[in-house]
Structure 1
Amino acid sequence: MKSYLAAAIQMTSTPELENNLAEAEDLVELAVHRGAALVTLPENFPFLGKEEDKVAQAEAIATRSEKFLKTMAQRFQITILGGGFPVPVDSTKVSNTALLIDPSGTELARYQKVHLFDVNLPDGNTYRES
């Protein structure tokens, strides 16, 4: 079996989609320059903010995230996994979706999170996946 280097990127996402994608791009490039052939981005890599903002911006987040992942895969000739990001289900719900993209920019797999949870965090943030 052929071996390869995988990179698991960590980042602190914010409610600023374009800033998050710019940071992710820098980190993907760094991983590739260090030899990674498979790069994984964390859950919520393109957006982490208030639930109502996530739902309101879900279409833009989903569209930009898919394009970003395909662009990164093709540009750097890597396989890339985009951890969960919101994809609209209807006007009030989103699906936490992860995509696996090959070096040609083709979608290999799409996973929609099925084990959903709700939580109220001590810092005041609330997450309602269910």
Structure 2
Amino acid sequence: MIAPGGRMQLRALHEGTSSLPAVALAAPDREGDTFAKTTPEAMLHGVYFGVRGLVRTVVERFAARFGAYPTVIATGGDAALFFDDDEFVERIVPDLTLRGIALAAQAALADAPEDA
């Protein structure tokens, strides 16, 4: 799955409207009230719980279709912020995409002719 990250969502809310403020990405207080009391809190809650809900929904649909839960690896620089305590996420690897690019480059170089 590919989906917009939290920072992109917050930026879109700010830039795509005339009155919503710029808000830095942060996890809401998990011990506090689920319901926001200010506009910036509401924006953070919407993004935070929206991202977590998106992943939960996709994982549950996968399990229903295939009869087993998938291994879920959260990637990206903000993965820990969203998923450090999530029951569906087995691992957090922030730089997984870069690792994949490095492996692909190594494989391409290994297969390249010497004089190329």
TM-score (normalizing by structure 1): 0.32
TM-score (normalizing by structure 2): 0.35
More helix per residue: 2
More strand per residue: 1
Which of structures 1 and 2 has the bigger CA Rg? 2
